[in-house]
Structure 1
Amino acid sequence: MNEVLKSAALLMVLLNPFLLIVYLIDIVEKLKRRNFNAVIIRASLIASGVFCVFSILGDAVFVRYMQVEFASFQIFGGVVFLLIGLQFVFKGPTAVEILQGESKHLAGAVAMPVFIGPGTISASVIIGKKHEPLTACFIVISMVFLCAVILALLKYIHDIVKPRNESLVERYIEIAGRVTALVVGTIAVDMIMRGIGSWLTKF
């Protein structure tokens, strides 16, 4: 049970809905609550399916089926994360420009890169190595939908608080955006270094 909680905590830390809401602030402000919740639910279903695949198949997804090393994914994913982090530093929360358009087209954009990222995929692989397939899938699905519930709650709070105290919301977004940039950038550099380290061990 202790290992299950540790694995769940690992994925939840990487998902972190309190920072994800900053990624999503554009659609939080643009969409009505019902449409926002629908987008989050669809994105959660997509993310859960992807995480379950990686938790069951693990490194084999890369090595056996894609004929590449997992280290390559870590390096490329780290570079992508680093670019997003730099965009946050210079542009703020509006850096995720793909989250534009009608709500029916947003679920895939929210699923990736907001839910599905290099860090969360790596965590799914780790969880799959520690647990039986059904347990691993239960962990990732539970954490994704817990994250979705928290995001829906934060949207509800946003809609109540902003009309009364817009400056407070803007202040939170500004602070959380800076924290997000630091977290994303740190994870990105760590992933790049881990990927390079994995490659160096092969020579």
Structure 2
Amino acid sequence: MLDAAGRLFPERGWTGTTVEDIARNAGVSVQTVYFTFGTKRAVLAELLDTVIAGDADPVATLDRPWARAVLAEPDPAAQLARQAAGARVVLERAAPVLEVVRGAAVADAEMAELWRTNQRQRHTVQLRFAEALVRKTGGGLRDSHDAASAADIALALLGPETYGLLVATRGWPPARWQRWAADGLTRQLLP
């Protein structure tokens, strides 16, 4: 069912995708979708969690191997490169679904809350990375940035909005975006 939803939501959008469409494409009954998820919103929320994580395992982002490698990386520039690489892997899967949630947030209060929750979660991850970066640089980030402002910069550069603009809209290959993002983080944050 999530595979069907993962194809339909990005293709048709929030309003253009119905539970009936999901059920038909998944080869199950509408009642099965409702029994499993409860609502169309819950289908999209579960899909979002799955595409961000890359699997259905209940493991927090910061406990995933790629995030632990970012935090453990001793070299600040290499840490930023790892952050960009990790963001690329996540966004290659999740950006189309995140765009559906962002679009639905305009007209649906529950989707707006899901979007805000996702933004808070992404900021939390970037803040942990930024705190590690500050420690590795001895507090010496460019332009007197602290962990909070460094996390804000990473949130903007590594966010689905920027990725979607450059990759989906402007046609950049994901590898080019990754190099640009790592370079941007380095130029903005390291002395």
TM superposition score normalised by structure 1: 0.31
Name the one with the larger helix percent: 1
Which of 1 and 2 has higher RCO (CA within 8 Å, sep 6+)?
Answer: 1
TM superposition score normalised by structure 2: 0.32
